[in-house]
Structure 1
Amino acid sequence: MEKKSEARNENGAAKRYGLLLALAALTAVILLPTPAGLPVAGHRMLGILVFSIIVWMSDCISYPVSAAVIIALIAFILGLAPDMAAPNKLIGTTQALTIALSGFSNTALALVGGALFIAAAMTKTGLDKRIALLVLSKIGAKTNRILIGVILVGLILSFFVPSTTARVSCMVPIVMGIISAFGVNKKSRFAGILMIATAQADSIWNVGIKTAAAQNMIAMGFIEKQLGQTISWMEWFIAAAPFAAIMSVVLYFVLLKVMPPEMKEVPGGKETVAKALQELGAMSLAEKKLLALSLVLLFFWSTEKILHSFDTSSTTLAAIALMLLPGIGIMNWKEAQDRIPWGTLVLFGTGISLGSALLSTKAAAWLAQFVVVWFGLQTMPIIGILASLAAFLIVIHLGFASATALAAAIIPILISVLQSVKTPGVNVVGMTMILQYVISFGFILPVNAPQNMVAYGTETFEVKDFIKTGVPLTLAAYLLILLLGMTYWKWIGIM
């Protein structure tokens, strides 16, 4: 109890100092002389970027609140900067606020919003729980098979529940129920690896499936805005699924090696899952409707650019409209709004706005040139560029509690960096997509992703357990990125 109290006090102090540090850094950057070749507006945006990164890394204020603060800072600090087109005039708060809200008109925001509604429908109907229990009922009672089942559920739910936190939140009570029903101590290694696998498998399949995570939509938004190209659901899947499949196998062996279960089989395990499934009863009409709608939506996602030209955001919004219609729908607006984490949507839109402001004020291009020179990337071989930037992202992610926030801060800069290198043959779109995979890692610390914290809240494992499994997992993922960069991704033309 005393240790928990100390941890809370330290956390509270870190949050207070984080906000003060962010404000001090913002002030310091703005007071520095404007570098040559950088407009004053760009200089101001660099200060806001530094403020945002410190706030997001220290978690000193909640993400939705940070979004409101960042919008206000852009409106006033950028609004009081000289207009780049007419230096004798100020940009003005009206134009600056338009820039600050530009992310909320992005099609990627519509997709993320739609994804949150689908996740809400899954939890309301219980379809996600039924899918999880059905998979686990087929696995058996051997501990290694149960581990395979948990990883497999993470894969399957990633196709249907486009929210990592929602997927893990669905799985946690099921896994805890299994642990309790089996009579296994929740502090046992077996309980620990099941819960760690629940979080890590979902993080891995965030990479494999475009619609599985909000940070992927951030990257897609910037790729469309900066590079004028779109990546379909199937194009993403073909490129990323092999990585996620291999890493799922790696996760299995890493967990069994680092935290071997105390027993090889749990007596009565299969019966326990069967009983939980029986308690759900027959599929409700709402579940059947949602399953049919999800399968149709998955069909449209996976056949984009192959059988039709309907983009992912549009088909998702059409599905949500059907889902909410009276009579044929699955839930009404009131049932939906109580289950939607609106703060996630606000953060997403603000993140897009921040990146757009960095681009329009030329701050991203200036910072990219600095990074290119600093890391010596100008004429580095393509695989060397990938290795350097991937390693940089892994390190910087240690300070972030959200891959969405990290993507919002870094993707526009990474695109500008890739456009600035002189190495011939760099596929900027493909390389950005691969670096987005790395942004989804978050394997090392519980605080590196919301889904990790949901699992950590069960008290089935310690931070050191997560690190012990997360470090080899991250190293394997990094090496696999480089291996696929030299082979498979080169063969399919994205490297």
Structure 2
Amino acid sequence: MQAAGFLSEQATVVATGLLLVLCMGLWASGLVAEIVTALLFFAVAMLLRLAPTATVFSGFASSAFWLVLGGMVVGLAMTRTGLGERLARALAGRLSGSYPGFIAGLVALSLALSFVMPSNLGRIALLVPVVLVLCDRFGLRPGRPGRTGAVMAVGLATPILSAAVLPANVPNLVMSGTAEAQYGLHIAYLPYLVLHGPALALAKGALLVLATLWLFPDRLAPLAAGAEALPHTPFSPAERRLGVVLGLTLALWVTDSLHHIAPAWIGLAAAVVCLMPRIGVLGPEAFGAVNLRTCFYVAALLGLVATVDQTGLGARLGHALLDLAPLHPGETLQNFGVLTGIAALLALVVTANGAPALYTALAGEMSRASGLALDDVVMIQVIGYSSLFLPYQAPPIILAMHLGGQTLKDATRITALLGAISLVVVAPLDYLWWQTLGRLS
């Protein structure tokens, strides 16, 4: 199960567990820079030979790594060509009424995009540069709480609310793919949306707006909010070329079910076009402005999750949780809460991307222990893995934080608050909605 190293199987599992606690603790606390923790993981995992080289460095081969890199290049192109400013001006009139309206509009826009654009990271890369320009126009300069609120509202709305839309994020795809492969369960788009949309998208979206306004209170600058639109200027050649690239990229993202090209490779191709001489909009030296630290963080996080799975630590943790879980036939409310908690805890340990594979593999046993239908057990996990408490659990939050120039402390504050609200408020609402639909009977 693990690499042929000098440690015994048991010692490898223990060492992996200690490394997991260390890395997650450092990422959560921010005691050292994320890049230092990322390099620490690579160094320790290879020195102790916890897993094969291909597993430890598997994050660099993942689509998430390349989508982050491509998204950063495209975001830089939007800033330097001025297209981001132009898009922001087009949105400014609709979002300039008040600061609460601004935040609510950004959350609604993030949710709406999840129906047409399948990649969380792609949506973050597209939205955050525009949000920053909007903040500048509304007087929310760097350091203002409103700027932090706007960036983090988009950063959380994008991966968390999209859990209600089946093809809109990675954890959903992992869950549905594992359920079909292991149990033959086919999860349909519309029933899934009806089941999860009201609580996980609408109610949680409203609560995200309230949490943002509470943690990051601010107001739009009066002059910026009421200012007249700037005179129309014609598109520059660079803006026109970038507009074509973005249009084609978005069209390919939206139609990925037809051509089956992963969003990451579409985003990477867009980045290459942006850097190409003559037809592109950035010189090759512009690549030096890309924040590769975030890319390394994503690669280390994914490599750590793969190492936890490779060594068998993930399976052991899952079965240990199952042994301790108070699941009893007939105790529907208790079983619902316990299963939601298991999924949330797994997401805390192996991130939201890794939790569905582990939880779904145990779903058959949990169904027998709880007496709940297998498809209900599988669906309950969505409530849990969409209840995030720390930014590292979802790479899109980290990408939004870095693109928007926000601190880990601020990102952790709002993520932890929304995670607590999700379990205390949203999960009970979801239970009542399921009861209304006749589920869990």
Q: Residue 135 of structure 2 corresponds to which residue in structure 1?
A: 175
2:45 to 58, 74, 85: 74
2:268 is aligned with what amino acid?
A: L
**CA distance in structure 2 between the partners assigned to 1:368 and 1:202 by the alignment:** 29
1:293 to 228, 245, 265: 245
- Taking the TM superposition and a 5 Å limit, the aligned residue runs for 1:400-411 are 406-407=351-352
Cα gap change, 1:173 to 1:114, in 2 (>3 Å): closer
Q: Post-superposition shift, 1:365?
A: 0.8
Cα gap change, 1:310 to 1:325, in 2 (>3 Å): same
Question: Which string of whole-angstrom CA distances, capped at 9 and with x for unpartnered residues, describes residues 262-299 of structure 1?
Answer: 9xx97555542624xx4x94332322333332232222
2:336 is aligned with what amino acid?
A: I
Does residue 46 (structure 1) correspond to residue 32 (structure 2)? The answer is: no
- Taking the TM superposition and a 5 Å limit, the aligned residue runs for 1:121-160 are 121-139=77-95, 141=97, 145-151=101-107
**CA distance in structure 2 between the partners assigned to 1:391 and 1:57 by the alignment:** 16
2:387 to 438, 455, 465: 438
Q: Give me the TM-score of the superposition, normalised by structure 1.
A: 0.63
Cα gap change, 1:112 to 1:257, in 2 (>3 Å): closer
Gaps of 5+ in 2: 1-6, 392-396
2:229 is aligned with what amino acid?
A: A
The more displaced of 473-482 and 340-349 is: 473-482
Does residue 313 (structure 1) correspond to residue 249 (structure 2)? The answer is: no
The more displaced of 307-316 and 421-430 is: 421-430
**CA distance in structure 1 between the partners assigned to 2:215 and 2:358 by the alignment:** 37
**CA distance in structure 2 between the partners assigned to 1:285 and 1:436 by the alignment:** 44
Q: Post-superposition shift, 1:46?
A: 1.7
Q: Residue 368 of structure 1 corresponds to which residue in structure 2?
A: 318
2:263 is aligned with what amino acid?
A: T
The more displaced of 216-225 and 195-204 is: 216-225
**CA distance in structure 2 between the partners assigned to 1:440 and 1:119 by the alignment:** 27
Whether the 8 Å contact between 1:114 and 1:317 is mirrored in structure 2 is yes
Q: Residue 61 of structure 2 corresponds to which residue in structure 1?
A: 105
Question: Which string of whole-angstrom CA distances, capped at 9 and with x for unpartnered residues, describes residues 380-405 of structure 1?
Answer: 756334432366479x69xxxxxxx9
2:290 to 321, 325, 340: 340
1:274 to 224, 229, 232: 229
Cα gap change, 1:489 to 1:331, in 2 (>3 Å): farther
Q: Residue 324 of structure 1 corresponds to which residue in structure 2?
A: 275
Q: Residue 202 of structure 1 corresponds to which residue in structure 2?
A: 155
Q: Give me the TM-score of the superposition, normalised by structure 2.
A: 0.69
**CA distance in structure 1 between the partners assigned to 2:417 and 2:154 by the alignment:** 15
The number of aligned residues is: 408
Whether the 8 Å contact between 2:104 and 2:209 is mirrored in structure 1 is yes
Q: Post-superposition shift, 1:125?
A: 2.4
Identity %: 18
Q: Post-superposition shift, 1:369?
A: 0.9
Q: Post-superposition shift, 1:77?
A: 1.7
Cα gap change, 1:50 to 1:140, in 2 (>3 Å): closer
The more displaced of 152-161 and 358-367 is: 152-161
1:480 to 409, 426, 434: 426
Q: Residue 27 of structure 1 corresponds to which residue in structure 2?
A: none
Whether the 8 Å contact between 1:118 and 1:162 is mirrored in structure 2 is no
Cα gap change, 1:100 to 1:193, in 2 (>3 Å): closer
The more displaced of 165-174 and 315-324 is: 165-174
Cα gap change, 1:366 to 1:251, in 2 (>3 Å): closer
Cα gap change, 1:324 to 1:173, in 2 (>3 Å): closer
**CA distance in structure 2 between the partners assigned to 1:488 and 1:332 by the alignment:** 54
Q: Residue 388 of structure 1 corresponds to which residue in structure 2?
A: 341
Whether the 8 Å contact between 1:219 and 1:436 is mirrored in structure 2 is no
**CA distance in structure 2 between the partners assigned to 1:474 and 1:375 by the alignment:** 20
1:101 is aligned with what amino acid?
A: F
- Taking the TM superposition and a 5 Å limit, the aligned residue runs for 1:443-462 are none
Whether the 8 Å contact between 1:196 and 1:455 is mirrored in structure 2 is no
**CA distance in structure 2 between the partners assigned to 1:144 and 1:222 by the alignment:** 35
The more displaced of 475-484 and 197-206 is: 475-484
Structure 2 residue matching 1:352: 3-state secondary structure? helix
**CA distance in structure 2 between the partners assigned to 1:251 and 1:154 by the alignment:** 12
1:284 to 221, 236, 257: 236
Question: Which string of whole-angstrom CA distances, capped at 9 and with x for unpartnered residues, describes residues 61-100 of structure 1?
Answer: 2222211111121112235xxxxxxxxxxxxxxx743332
Cα gap change, 1:282 to 1:338, in 2 (>3 Å): farther
Q: Residue 31 of structure 2 corresponds to which residue in structure 1?
A: 60
1:45 is aligned with what amino acid?
A: T
**CA distance in structure 2 between the partners assigned to 1:221 and 1:349 by the alignment:** 18
Bigger relative contact order, structure 1 or 2 (CA pairs below 8 A, ≥6 apart): 2
Whether the 8 Å contact between 2:103 and 2:149 is mirrored in structure 1 is no
Q: Post-superposition shift, 1:42?
A: 2.3
**CA distance in structure 1 between the partners assigned to 2:27 and 2:214 by the alignment:** 34
Cα gap change, 1:98 to 1:311, in 2 (>3 Å): closer
RMSD, aligned CA: 5.1
Q: Residue 162 of structure 1 corresponds to which residue in structure 2?
A: 122
**CA distance in structure 2 between the partners assigned to 1:241 and 1:284 by the alignment:** 41
